[in-house]
Each structure stands twice: as C-alpha cells, then as structure tokens.
C-alpha cells in the first residue's frame, strides 16, 4: 500500500518508519524545510539510538521525503495539536491545514487517518467537512477515522511495535479499511472502537488517568508534610493492599501529553472538575519545590542554585513543559513563587542549568562540575541515570553549601546525610 504521512516530528517519523519496515511505500511530508532537508540527507533529528537506527534504515528503504503532499492509498495526519491557553481550547490549525493539503489529492476509496491527539469529535466535525469539499464524501466515497499513538519517549520502537492500538472509523467501511492497514504491522491487539469519537475520547482517558493518579500522589505528599509523615513510606505501606497501586510524587508533570491532553476534555463538557483539579495540583508542584529550596537556604537573596535536569523525565532529551525549567523560572523570579519563608530576602537568584541528555540553542547548559561549583544548593529534577549515581563526596567538594533538594527520591538519604548534607525531598 502507498501511504503519505503528514508531519515528520517524533510521532510522524516513527509511524512512517514503522510502515516502511513492514513492506509499504511511504511518502513523508513536513511543512518545515529544515526538517525535510535533514531527512533527505539521512540525518533524522532523533536522539534515541534505537529509533535513530530505525528511521535511518527506513530512509535507506522505501521512505521518500517530499516537498509536497502526494496522492496515496492512505493519508496519515500526525501533526501537533497545541493547547491555546488564552482561548481555553485545542489549537487545531495544523490538523485543518493538513486536511486542506489532503483534500485535492483524494481519490475514490482512499482512506484518511488522524493520529494527532484531539478533542473528541474532531475527526467527524472538523476533518470530515474539510475533506468533503473535495466532492468525495467521507464514509461513502472515502474512508476516514482515528488511530491514536501511544509511544513513550525513550522506548519508542518497542512501544510502536508492541502496544495495543485503538482504531475507530466514522462508519463500518472506514473502520475495516483502517484495520486492514494497521493489521499489516506488528502491534499488540487492535482494539476497535464504535466510532472515531470514542477512539479520540479513549486517548484522552489514558493520559488523564495518569495525570490524575500522579496528582493523587502529589496531594498525598503535600498533605503528609502537614502531619510530619514520610509520604513515600506511607505509599509503600499502602501499596501492600491488593487493590491499591499509588504512584510516586514528584516535582511536576512534563512532556507534551499529560500537561496538555486532559484539558481537551473541557472542549464540549463542563463535567471535568476532577481532571481540572488534578491539573492544578500537578502545575503547583514546581512552585512547591521552589518553596523547599527557599526554606532550606533561608533566603533566596544572592543565592546560586544548580538545576540538575531540564528534560521532563529521566534519560530523554525532551524539555517540553519541563518541571526543572519551571522551577528555574520561579527561583529566578521569586515574586512569582508562593514562598513560605517568612522574612527571607527576595533578591536575585543565579540559576545554573545542567542536563547531560539535552542540547539546546536557547538554553545555557553547563557541565555538572561547573553547575555545582560554589552553588548554594542543587535541585534534582530529572531522573537521569547519571544523577542517580552522584557521589556525595564529590558534590560536597563543589557546593558552597551542602543543600540537596531531591523531589524524585533518587538519593540514599542516609548516605548523603552522613556526608553532611541537608537532603530535602517530597
């Protein structure tokens, strides 16, 4: 089958490569000239070693990069869907633009599949009317449906090939045509939803479930502090119950999906109070960690703080919605933080950023030694393997004050305290 993939970011490029590796001819299109040029040179902007090899092999095979969309049996839309906070709704401009690009290429019996995360109803009420302007009616002349991606950064190839896939068409024939395509690639089970809107809803359910459960763990951490309880020990004990499985608290929720996708529920529903509350809890956590830093130091005036980790999670290079960067922002502008330090000075705080996995033209990143040298405190905000193995003797020889804030609980408290550290966690 011939497939045209619209959007060659992390998801689109992996998806295109998956179909190439399973015998299909794939045309890849992206509106970004720089992205296309790199791919044409065989240089994918991918930092996961396994995924990079996977993509390079596809580029050496039947993955062709095109400067324009092309006609194909299947048109797969894998473009971003950011959240417009001012408007309080998903920004679907890229989905709509992709649909307009597909429209003049459509032929009878072609199939269009949306993979982007969207508010429920987008495929049927946004995508379908645009495609219908071609003169071919979705559900009658062409197939149309929704298949969400479920890849975890850092483990993309394995998840791409082994996770269950949910699919839903706007009618039975569309669903069958989509199932025919996705049945040709290795996955877990194909789960057929009653319609495209249900499939869209399920994608949000999955991400909101994780966000709400993280928020519960963070709420326990905030509450436990008021009672003088070690929340991690309490969670460990609670999880011995056969029907309890509480997650771990942390400095916040990052990445593209969890901080954004649950908000899409509110597009056409007012019954999102629990999801909205969870978002507020998790959004609060970077400020709470900034509080812990200020309390440990007694003041933020003329202090230097090293932020260890600007990736949103361990062992990846993705900085989107990074808790570490938000903590850095709050500490560098203390007036925005809800600090509980009663009489602490509020002067300028110097922030140093360190992350062995991230390269960025816009962030000033330092080596671990340079970030720690003379700093008054270090804050561990990404669970990178390199940080889990930190030597308290070496860190102590570099820091001006032995203050380590570890909201991820990566450090062995006894060992660090034996070396004279004040180890602060949540």
**Residues 6 or more apart whose Cβ sits within 8 Å of residue 43:** none
Number of domains in the chain: 2
Domain boundary pick from 131, 158, 193 = 193
CATH number (domain holding residue 57): 3.40.50.720
> Do residues 160 and 291 share a domain?
no
The set of long-range contacts for 266-270, using a CB threshold of 8 Å and a minimum separation of 24, is 266/88, 267/89, 267/90, 267/119, 267/120, 267/121, 268/119, 268/120, 268/121
367 in any annotated domain: yes
Instruction: Tell me the C-alpha distance between 277 and 323, whole Å.
Output: 18
Does a structural domain hold residue 221?
A: no
Whether 102 is in a domain gets the answer yes
Residue 265 resides in a domain = no
Do 300 and 175 share a domain, yes or no? no
Is 269 part of a structural domain of the chain? no
Enclosing domain of residue 100: 2-193
Please say if the pLDDT value at position 41 is more than 70: yes
Q: Is residue 220 part of a domain?
A: no
Check if 203 is active-site: yes
- Choosing from 4, 78, 203, 303, the catalytic residue is 203
**Residue 343 located in a structural domain:** yes
CA dihedral 207, 208, 211, 214 (to 10 degrees): -110
DSSP bridge partners of 352: 306
Query: Does residue 63 contact residue 16 with C-beta atoms inside 8 Å?
Result: yes
- Rounded CA-CA distance 86/297 in Å is 36
- pLDDT tens digits for range 255-296: 989 999 999 999 999 999 999 999 999 999 999 999 999 999
Find the mean pLDDT for residues 358-387: 95
Question: Are residues 186 and 292 part of one domain?
Answer: no
CB 399 within 8 A of CB 378: yes
The H-assigned helical ranges of 310-380 are 323-332, 368-372
Q: Annotated catalytic residue: which of 4, 25, 78, 257?
A: 257
Q: Mark which of 139, 168, 193 sits at the end of a domain.
A: 193
Largest Cα–Cα separation, the chain: 74
Q: 158, 175, 193 — which closes off a domain?
A: 193
Residues 184 and 59 in one domain: yes
4 is catalytic: no
Pairing of strands 111-114, 74-77: parallel
- Both 421 and 307 in one domain: the answer is yes
Bridge partner residues of 142 (DSSP): 138
According to the model, what pLDDT value does residue 353 have? 96
- On whether both 293 and 179 belong to a single domain, the answer is no
State how far the alpha carbon of 239 is from the alpha carbons of 57, 213, 227, in Å.
Answer: 44, 14, 20
Selection from 363, 327, 333, 338 nearest residue 348 by Cα? 333
Model pLDDT for residues 332-361, shown as the tens digit of each residue:
875 554 444 433 444 558 999 999 999 988
Answer yes or no: do 22 and 162 share one domain. Answer: yes
Q: Report if residue 421 sits inside a domain.
A: yes
Same domain? For 7 and 130 the reply is yes
């Amino acid at each position: 089958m011939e497939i045209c993939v619209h959007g060659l970011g992390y998801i689109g490029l992996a998806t295109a490569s998956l179909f190439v590796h399973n015998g299909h001819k794939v045309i890849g299109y992206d509106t970004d000239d720089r992205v296309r040029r790199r791919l044409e040179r065989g240089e994918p902007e991918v930092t996961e070693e396994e995924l990079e090899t996977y993509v390079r092999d596809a580029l050496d095979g039947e993955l062709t990069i095109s400067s324009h969309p092309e006609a194909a049996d299947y048109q797969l839309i894998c473009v971003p869907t950011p959240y417009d906070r001012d408007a309080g709704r998903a920004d679907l401009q890229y989905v709509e633009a992709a649909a307009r690009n597909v429209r003049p290429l459509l032929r009878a019996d072609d199939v269009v599949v949306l993979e982007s995360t969207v508010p429920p109803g987008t495929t049927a009420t946004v995508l379908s009317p645009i495609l219908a302007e071609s003169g071919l009616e979705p559900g009658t002349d062409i197939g149309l449906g929704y298949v969400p991606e479920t890849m975890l950064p850092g483990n993309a190839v394995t998840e791409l090939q082994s996770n269950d896939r949910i699919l839903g068409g706007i009618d039975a024939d569309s669903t069958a045509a989509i199932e025919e395509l996705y049945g040709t690639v290795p996955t877990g089970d194909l789960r057929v939803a009653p319609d495209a809107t249900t499939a869209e809803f399920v994608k949000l359910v999955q991400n909101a479930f994780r966000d709400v459960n993280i928020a519960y763990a963070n709420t326990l951490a905030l509450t436990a502090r008021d009672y003088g309880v070690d929340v991690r020990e309490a969670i460990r004990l609670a999880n011995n119950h056969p029907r309890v499985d509480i997650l771990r608290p942390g400095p916040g929720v990052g990445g593209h999906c969890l901080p954004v996708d649950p908000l899409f529920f509110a597009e056409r529903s007012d019954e999102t109070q629990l999801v909205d509350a969870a978002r507020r809890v998790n959004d609060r956590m970077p400020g709470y960690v900034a509080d812990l830093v200020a309390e440990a130091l007694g003041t933020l005036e003329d202090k230097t703080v090293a932020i260890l980790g600007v990736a949103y999670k361990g062992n990846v290079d993705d900085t989107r919605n990074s808790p570490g960067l938000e903590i850095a922002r709050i500490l560098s502008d203390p007036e925005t933080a809800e600090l509980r330090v009663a009489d602490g000075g509020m002067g300028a705080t110097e922030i140093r950023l360190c992350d062995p996995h991230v390269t960025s033209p816009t962030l000033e990143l330092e080596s671990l030694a340079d970030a720690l040298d003379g700093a008054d405190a270090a804050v561990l905000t990404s669970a990178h393997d390199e940080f889990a193995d930190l030597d308290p003797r070496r860190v102590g020889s570099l820091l001006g004050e032995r203050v380590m804030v570890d909201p991820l609980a990566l450090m062995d408290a006894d060992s660090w305290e034996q070396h004279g550290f004040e180890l602060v966690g949540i």
